[in-house]
């Protein structure tokens, strides 16, 4: 089964033209933007933004979150990351526990190998993981809005996420930041539409 389904180039061009015509009618700006691309022969062509999203997701996703999302990243199992962990004798470095530091180093080397690879498989897996993470963020964000979990204090809103199926996903600062930005935009739009 192919990892990534390809869109016909004519369809891509037509879709881009339609988006550029229709998007301003709905107040959507900067949807299409120029980017560098890297071609992997006939296999696929990836834009720079796709690679950035894929690599940042590979870096930020804990093993528990990847399992929860049903993703297979093919983590780097080389001895490089394990030997770098053994070289530090403290139980924590920069506030990271040894378990968290372990998976973070594994993620770092996996992302590094994805950049050097001649095959786009790791980056495509990272993109799938990114899409699943984004869906989890939207799911959590809509649940927060629907259940009115955001509390309004003087000048800011706060949310306490205590439980839920996607809790392991929101244990990393970057994912929490994405959730906060999603909620900020949602509340900003709701204020203007009321």
- Residues 101 and 148 grouped into a single domain: no
Whether 2 is covered by a domain: the verdict is: no
Whether 89 is covered by a domain: the verdict is: yes
- Residues 106 and 176 grouped into a single domain: no
Whether 10 is covered by a domain: the verdict is: no
HEC letters along the chain: CCCCCCCCHHHHHHHHHHHHHHHHHHCCCCCCCCCCEEECCCCCEEEHHHHHHHHHHHHHCCHHHHHHHCCCCCCCCCHHHHHHHHCCCCCEECCEEHHHHHHHHHHHHHHHHHHHCCCCHHHHHHHHHHHHHHHHHHHHHHHHHHCCCCEECCCCEECCCCCCCCHHHHHCHHHHHHHHHHHHHHHHHHHHHC
CA 2 vs. chain centroid, Å, equals: 21
pTM as predicted: 0.73
pLDDT in tens, the chain (194 residues): 344 445 566 777 788 889 889 988 888 888 877 778 888 777 788 888 889 999 999 988 887 788 888 876 666 555 454 444 444 444 444 445 667 778 888 888 888 988 887 788 888 889 999 999 999 999 999 999 888 888 888 888 888 888 777 787 888 888 899 999 999 988 888 765 54
- Residues 41 and 101 grouped into a single domain: yes
- Residues 121 and 138 grouped into a single domain: no
- Residues 118 and 44 grouped into a single domain: yes
- Residues 153 and 77 grouped into a single domain: no
CB neighbour list of residue 58: distance below 8 Å, 6 or more residues apart: 73, 107, 110, 111, 114, 122, 126, 129
Whether 171 is covered by a domain: the verdict is: yes
- What is the count of structural domains for the chain? 2
CA distance 119 to 142: 36
- Residues 94 and 153 grouped into a single domain: no
- Residues 26 and 92 grouped into a single domain: yes
Assess contact for 183 and 145: CB atoms under 8 A.
yes
- Residues 55 and 29 grouped into a single domain: yes
- Residues 111 and 146 grouped into a single domain: no
**Residue 162 belongs to what domain range?**
133-193
pLDDT in tens, 126-178: 999 999 999 999 999 999 988 888 888 888 888 888 877 778 788 888 889 99
């Amino acid at each position: 089964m192919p990892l990534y389904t390809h869109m016909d180039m004519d369809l891509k061009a037509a879709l881009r033209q339609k988006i550029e015509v229709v998007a301003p009618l709905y107040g959507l700006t900067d949807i299409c933007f120029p980017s560098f691309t890297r071609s992997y022969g006939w296999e696929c062509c990836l834009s720079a933004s796709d690679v950035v999203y894929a690599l940042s997701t590979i870096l930020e996703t804990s093993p528990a979150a990847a399992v929860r999302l049903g993703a297979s990243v093919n983590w780097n199992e080389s001895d490089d990351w394990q030997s770098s962990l053994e070289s530090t004798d403290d139980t924590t470095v920069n506030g990271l526990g040894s378990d968290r530091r372990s998976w973070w180093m594994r993620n770092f080397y996996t992302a590094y190998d994805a950049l050097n690879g001649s095959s786009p498989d790791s980056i495509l897996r990272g993109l799938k993981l990114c899409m699943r993470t984004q869906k989890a963020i939207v799911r959590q964000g809509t649940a927060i809005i629907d259940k009115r979990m955001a509390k309004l204090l003087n000048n800011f809103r706060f949310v306490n996420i205590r439980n839920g199926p996607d809790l392991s996903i929101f244990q990393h600062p970057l994912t929490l930041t994405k959730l906060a930005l999603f909620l900020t935009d949602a509340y900003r739009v709701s204020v203007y539409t009321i």
